[in-house]
Structure 1
Amino acid sequence: MEYQYPIDHDWSTEEVVDVIHFFETIERAYEKGVKREQLLSVYRRFKEIVPGKAQEKKLCSEFEEVSGYSSYRTIKKGKESDLGAIIRMQP
Protein backbone atom coordinates (compact mmCIF):
# COMPACT_ATOMS: atom_id res chain seq x y z
CA MET A 1 0.00 0.00 0.00
CA GLU A 2 1.11 3.52 -0.71
CA TYR A 3 0.45 5.72 2.31
CA GLN A 4 2.32 7.29 5.18
CA TYR A 5 2.08 6.00 8.72
CA PRO A 6 1.02 8.51 11.37
CA ILE A 7 4.05 9.45 13.47
CA ASP A 8 5.03 12.13 15.97
CA HIS A 9 8.16 14.03 14.98
CA ASP A 10 9.18 14.24 18.66
CA TRP A 11 9.75 10.47 18.82
CA SER A 12 13.22 8.96 18.62
CA THR A 13 14.18 6.91 15.56
CA GLU A 14 13.69 3.71 17.58
CA GLU A 15 10.21 4.81 18.66
CA VAL A 16 9.23 5.66 15.07
CA VAL A 17 10.44 2.22 13.94
CA ASP A 18 8.46 0.52 16.73
CA VAL A 19 5.25 2.44 15.95
CA ILE A 20 5.58 1.61 12.25
CA HIS A 21 6.10 -2.03 13.25
CA PHE A 22 2.84 -1.86 15.23
CA PHE A 23 0.90 -0.55 12.22
CA GLU A 24 2.56 -3.14 9.94
CA THR A 25 1.39 -5.84 12.36
CA ILE A 26 -2.17 -4.50 12.13
CA GLU A 27 -1.88 -4.67 8.33
CA ARG A 28 -0.62 -8.26 8.54
CA ALA A 29 -3.63 -9.22 10.69
CA TYR A 30 -5.86 -8.18 7.79
CA GLU A 31 -3.71 -9.53 4.98
CA LYS A 32 -2.31 -12.83 6.30
CA GLY A 33 -3.04 -13.24 9.98
CA VAL A 34 -0.75 -12.72 12.96
CA LYS A 35 -0.10 -14.61 16.18
CA ARG A 36 -1.99 -13.21 19.15
CA GLU A 37 1.16 -12.98 21.29
CA GLN A 38 3.05 -11.03 18.62
CA LEU A 39 0.13 -8.64 18.18
CA LEU A 40 -0.17 -7.95 21.89
CA SER A 41 3.61 -7.63 22.28
CA VAL A 42 3.88 -4.89 19.62
CA TYR A 43 0.79 -3.23 21.11
CA ARG A 44 2.44 -3.12 24.57
CA ARG A 45 5.48 -1.42 23.00
CA PHE A 46 3.18 0.99 21.14
CA LYS A 47 1.52 1.88 24.47
CA GLU A 48 4.95 2.61 26.03
CA ILE A 49 5.48 5.19 23.28
CA VAL A 50 1.85 6.42 23.15
CA PRO A 51 0.52 6.05 26.71
CA GLY A 52 -2.37 8.51 26.36
CA LYS A 53 -5.76 7.35 25.09
CA ALA A 54 -6.39 10.58 23.14
CA GLN A 55 -3.12 10.35 21.17
CA GLU A 56 -3.63 6.60 20.62
CA LYS A 57 -7.12 7.21 19.25
CA LYS A 58 -5.88 10.04 17.02
CA LEU A 59 -3.02 7.98 15.54
CA CYS A 60 -5.15 4.87 15.07
CA SER A 61 -7.93 6.92 13.44
CA GLU A 62 -5.44 8.51 11.05
CA PHE A 63 -4.07 5.05 10.20
CA GLU A 64 -7.56 3.63 9.63
CA GLU A 65 -8.46 6.58 7.42
CA VAL A 66 -5.54 5.96 5.04
CA SER A 67 -5.42 2.14 5.23
CA GLY A 68 -8.95 0.99 6.01
CA TYR A 69 -7.56 -1.20 8.84
CA SER A 70 -8.92 -0.80 12.37
CA SER A 71 -6.26 -1.01 15.08
CA TYR A 72 -8.96 -0.86 17.76
CA ARG A 73 -10.92 -3.86 16.43
CA THR A 74 -7.73 -5.84 15.82
CA ILE A 75 -6.39 -5.30 19.36
CA LYS A 76 -9.83 -6.00 20.84
CA LYS A 77 -10.00 -9.32 18.97
CA GLY A 78 -6.45 -10.14 20.11
CA LYS A 79 -7.29 -9.51 23.76
CA GLU A 80 -10.44 -11.64 23.51
CA SER A 81 -8.72 -14.54 21.72
CA ASP A 82 -7.16 -17.62 23.29
CA LEU A 83 -3.43 -18.03 23.81
CA GLY A 84 -1.78 -19.21 20.59
CA ALA A 85 -4.60 -17.96 18.35
CA ILE A 86 -3.97 -16.51 14.90
CA ILE A 87 -5.71 -13.16 14.53
CA ARG A 88 -7.23 -12.71 11.08
CA MET A 89 -9.34 -9.66 10.40
CA GLN A 90 -11.91 -9.11 7.67
CA PRO A 91 -11.65 -5.77 5.80
Structure 2
Amino acid sequence: MSVDKATVAKIANLARIAVKEDELEPLAGELNNILDWIEQLSEVNTDGVQPMTSAVDMSLPWRTDKVTDGGYRDKILANAPKAAHGFFSVPKVIE
Protein backbone atom coordinates (compact mmCIF):
# COMPACT_ATOMS: atom_id res chain seq x y z
CA MET A 1 0.00 0.00 0.00
CA SER A 2 1.31 3.42 -0.89
CA VAL A 3 0.31 6.80 0.49
CA ASP A 4 0.58 9.93 -1.64
CA LYS A 5 0.28 13.64 -0.85
CA ALA A 6 -3.45 13.71 -1.58
CA THR A 7 -4.08 10.85 0.85
CA VAL A 8 -2.02 12.55 3.56
CA ALA A 9 -3.98 15.76 3.04
CA LYS A 10 -7.27 13.85 3.31
CA ILE A 11 -6.14 12.05 6.49
CA ALA A 12 -5.01 15.35 8.01
CA ASN A 13 -8.34 16.92 7.14
CA LEU A 14 -10.29 14.04 8.69
CA ALA A 15 -8.12 14.21 11.83
CA ARG A 16 -8.54 17.99 11.97
CA ILE A 17 -4.76 18.49 11.83
CA ALA A 18 -3.36 21.51 10.06
CA VAL A 19 -0.56 20.37 7.76
CA LYS A 20 1.29 22.77 5.49
CA GLU A 21 1.65 21.93 1.81
CA ASP A 22 5.44 21.54 2.06
CA GLU A 23 5.04 19.01 4.91
CA LEU A 24 2.79 16.63 2.94
CA GLU A 25 5.55 14.89 0.96
CA PRO A 26 7.77 14.08 3.98
CA LEU A 27 4.72 12.83 5.89
CA ALA A 28 3.77 10.60 2.98
CA GLY A 29 7.27 9.08 3.08
CA GLU A 30 7.05 8.48 6.83
CA LEU A 31 3.62 6.87 6.53
CA ASN A 32 4.88 4.63 3.72
CA ASN A 33 7.80 3.52 5.92
CA ILE A 34 5.39 2.68 8.74
CA LEU A 35 3.12 0.72 6.39
CA ASP A 36 6.12 -1.19 5.01
CA TRP A 37 7.14 -2.13 8.55
CA ILE A 38 3.61 -3.37 9.30
CA GLU A 39 3.70 -5.49 6.14
CA GLN A 40 6.95 -7.04 7.38
CA LEU A 41 5.25 -7.93 10.66
CA SER A 42 2.51 -9.80 8.80
CA GLU A 43 5.18 -12.12 7.37
CA VAL A 44 6.15 -13.40 10.84
CA ASN A 45 4.97 -16.95 11.55
CA THR A 46 2.82 -16.85 14.68
CA ASP A 47 1.40 -20.38 14.52
CA GLY A 48 1.29 -21.90 17.98
CA VAL A 49 1.97 -18.62 19.76
CA GLN A 50 -0.54 -17.97 22.51
CA PRO A 51 -2.01 -14.47 22.76
CA MET A 52 -0.84 -12.56 25.81
CA THR A 53 -1.72 -9.40 27.66
CA SER A 54 1.58 -9.03 29.50
CA ALA A 55 5.18 -10.13 29.16
CA VAL A 56 4.93 -11.62 32.66
CA ASP A 57 2.64 -14.58 33.31
CA MET A 58 0.27 -13.44 36.03
CA SER A 59 -3.34 -13.72 37.07
CA LEU A 60 -5.53 -10.97 38.40
CA PRO A 61 -7.01 -11.30 41.85
CA TRP A 62 -10.75 -11.88 41.87
CA ARG A 63 -13.22 -10.45 44.35
CA THR A 64 -16.75 -11.48 45.04
CA ASP A 65 -19.24 -9.71 42.82
CA LYS A 66 -21.72 -8.30 45.29
CA VAL A 67 -23.56 -5.01 45.36
CA THR A 68 -23.09 -2.85 48.43
CA ASP A 69 -24.06 0.70 49.25
CA GLY A 70 -20.61 1.42 50.65
CA GLY A 71 -21.91 2.08 54.14
CA TYR A 72 -20.39 5.58 54.30
CA ARG A 73 -23.51 7.72 53.86
CA ASP A 74 -23.15 9.57 57.16
CA LYS A 75 -19.45 10.31 56.60
CA ILE A 76 -20.09 11.58 53.09
CA LEU A 77 -23.08 13.72 54.06
CA ALA A 78 -21.05 15.23 56.91
CA ASN A 79 -19.07 17.13 54.24
CA ALA A 80 -22.20 18.38 52.44
CA PRO A 81 -23.19 22.03 52.89
CA LYS A 82 -26.79 20.89 53.21
CA ALA A 83 -28.40 17.45 53.41
CA ALA A 84 -31.99 16.26 53.70
CA HIS A 85 -33.43 12.77 54.17
CA GLY A 86 -30.04 11.10 53.62
CA PHE A 87 -29.30 12.90 50.33
CA PHE A 88 -27.43 16.00 49.20
CA SER A 89 -29.70 19.02 49.13
CA VAL A 90 -29.06 21.48 46.32
CA PRO A 91 -30.86 24.64 45.28
CA LYS A 92 -33.36 24.44 42.46
CA VAL A 93 -31.75 25.48 39.15
CA ILE A 94 -34.69 25.02 36.78
CA GLU A 95 -37.71 27.28 37.05
Q: TM-score range by the shorter chain?
A: under 0.3
Higher relative contact order (CA 8 A, sep 6+): 1
Which structure carries more helix by proportion? Answer: 1
Q: Between Structure 1 and Structure 2, whose CA radius of gyration is higher? A: 2
TM-score (norm 1): 0.22
